[in-house]
A and B are shown apart, each in its own frame.
Chain A
Amino acid sequence: MQPKPNHDESVRQDFVTDLRAYLTDEIYTLITPHYEKKIEPEFLQSHDRKPKDKSEVKSLMLNDKGYQSWSLLQRLSQQMMFTSVIDTVERNLEAMIDNLDKHQEIGSLEIDDSLEIPRYLTAYDIHQQPGGYHSETIEKDISAGAVYDISLPIYSRNAMGEENDLLAQAIIHYIDKNIGTFQPKDILDMGCGIGNSTLPFSKKYPNSKVVGADVALPCLRYAHARANALGVEADFSQQNVEKTNYDSESFDLVTSTLLLHETSHDAVPKIIQECFRLLKPGGWMIHLDVYPFHKKEDDPLYDFLKDWEVINNNENFSGALRKMNMKKIIEDAGFATETVEFTSAEAAAKYSKGYTGDFYLKLPVYVAQKSIAS
């Protein structure tokens, strides 16, 4: 299903992968020492104290050529990633759409034409993907899904696994390790996008019924066709996961990967409440997202740097999510206090395409159980 880059597109994309690796390994690593050796001492000289918070650090950094150059290049690399991927998708688009009919046999695709796309997805293009997840340029458009599918490996230095399923593997690993006896029958993957985190559950629990829900139709069309091409069964449905049309208590497991940080302050509690409504008593909710919980409160440089994506990559909500009291939101929704946990889910990751070495992926998860008595 994934469109194949031609020779030049392929090596152009490889260049972006390597550029991003270089910017991270060779340039970003210089920023903290540069700050400690040059920027901070200069400030100390003229102010008799260190910068006190991230906004003070910010005004220093925005005037620093070295930092600004890295920041510019990092932003450009994201743009170069998308343009180099879009070439491939555009070249193959009509043929892919013509082929969609051949990939409808298993699973289903439910479309809701009247669904409104939330403003937080339409106001700006999250992480600079042109057109975002939802825009359609041509009838039966699937380009947003295809672009996402090819970009994810570039973004992750070819570490997401052949089917971009590393994040779901981390959740599965978490369940096996911590809730070993749990055998979910009905599973919902919220914000499923292209289904990359949905299909691993169909494979892991072959007797279960797995549903992926997302607002973005171009991603869902791609997800359904992709599932067929891979021969894995799942149902896909166009829904706003703040309020779905499923009956209460219809799922044993509700998951998401990389959903919450792309929503909004108002949406997060609604999504958590919806999870509670949808879960059967005893069911589990597991949301995996990108940001570390540990906060070095007294390190204004770290505070400033971790907001890079917010300011420079259109991840406008991701900074604010870090500050939300998720524990309270989850407890207020009704989840059993003693089961609410923020921990990390791990998966064994493997680089590919010229990158060698294995590593452990460790990502934060919000976990909670709906108590059996509720």
Chain B
Amino acid sequence: MNDKTKLPRVAKGKKLNYLNDGSIDNLMAMIMTLTQEISVLRDRIDTLERILESKKIILDEEFNEFIPSDDLETKRKNRRHALLERVLLPIKKELE
């Protein structure tokens, strides 16, 4: 994505296998990461809604009328890429 330094995210060491042939382990890892990310999002939205509510500036339909700018689309795309990078790390490890 960019040239910023990337730190390793995989610890060196013996590879352990818990369930089945290891694929299930991967699945579990992915699902838990996803769950974590959803929880982060949920809490963030919750905070956002509370602040907006206290300032009386949000209407429900505004959500659906909102059109993101090109910049925002790119930002979101990069954010999703980073999310996928984390969620799919087990699969990348399998192939690297």
Contact = CB atoms under 8 A, between A and B. Distances in A.
Contact of A354 (B23, B74, B91, B95): B74
Interface string B9-41: 000000000000111001000000000000000
A26 B64 contact: no
Interface residues of A, number: 25
A354 B70 contact: yes
B88 A30 contact: no
Contact of A65 (B23, B73, B85): B23
A275 to B, nearest CB: 42
Nearest to B77: A354
Given A27-B91, A34-B95, A22 B23 contact: no
Contacts of B90: 69
Interface residues of B, number: 24
B3 interface: no
A11 B88 CA distance: 19
B15 to A, nearest CB: 11
Interface in A29-72: 30-31, 34, 65-70
Given A69-B23, A354-B76, A34 B81 contact: no
Interface string B37-74: 00000000000000000000000000110100010011
Contact of B77 (A18, A66, A68, A73): A18
A14 interface: yes
A356 interface: yes
Given A65-B22, A66-B95, A68-B23, A18 B84 contact: yes
A30 B77 contact: no
A294 interface: no
Given A354-B70, A356-B74, A7 B88 contact: no
26 contacts: A7-B64, A14-B77, A18-B77, A18-B81, A18-B84, A22-B81, A22-B84, A26-B92, A27-B88, A27-B95, A34-B96, A65-B21, A65-B22, A65-B23, A65-B26, A69-B23, A69-B26, A69-B90, A69-B94, A70-B91, A70-B95, A353-B73, A354-B70, A354-B73, A354-B76, A355-B77
Q: 8 closest pairs, A vs B, by CB?
A: A354-B73, A354-B77, A66-B94, A66-B95, A30-B95, A18-B80, A7-B63, A22-B84
